[in-house]
Amino acid sequence: MRRFLATTITLLLLSSMHAQQDSFLFRTPLSFYNTDILSYLQVLHKNQQYEKMVPFFTGELRSSRSQSAFVELLANAPFGYSMKRAGIREVKKGEAWSLTYQRTILGTQETFRVDCVLANDTCRVVLSEPTFKLIFKDI
C-alpha cells in the first residue's frame, strides 16, 4: 500500500511540474519556443535567417531603413556571444517590458538592457542606434 501511495504521489508531482512548464511557454508574449525573444533572434541569426528576424524589431532604426537594407544590416552584425536573460520588468501591463541580459565576451561579463513592446500580437525589440550597438557587439 505504501509503495502504491508513493508512486501515486510521485506521478502527481511530475504531472504538475510538466503542466507548470507548459504554462510557462504561453504565459507571456516574451516566450518563443521555450526561450526568450533575444535568444530566439540569436538562433535565427546563427542560421542566417535574417529575413525571419525583421518582424521582431520596431523603433527608429527599423523604420528608417527599407526591409532589404535592414536585412543587410542584420546579416553583417556580430551576434555570436553567449548570453542569458537575467531579469524582466513589466513596464506597461501586457504591452511593454524591459529585459536585462548577461553576456560573456572574452571572459568579461556584462549586463545590458533591451526594451520590448507588444505590437500586432508580436513581441518586438525596440531598436535604436544605441540599442543596436548594445545587442550586436563585436567580440
> Which CATH number goes with the domain that contains 37?
3.10.450
43: phi then psi, degrees, rounded to nearest 5: -65, -45
Domain boundaries, position 39: 2-135
Please tell me the total count of domains within the chain. 1
> In the predicted model, is pLDDT for residue 104 greater than 70?
yes
Q: Say if CB 52 and CB 122 are below 8 A apart.
A: no
**Residues with Cβ < 8 Å from 15, sequence gap 6 or more?**
none
Cell 536573460 belongs to which residue? 85
pLDDT of residue 130: 92
pLDDT of residue 80: 83
pLDDT of residue 35: 78
pLDDT of residue 127: 94
Burial pattern 25-39, b for ≥16 Cβ within 10 A else e, equals eeeebbebeeebbbe
pLDDT of residue 30: 66
Q: State the pTM of this model.
A: 0.75
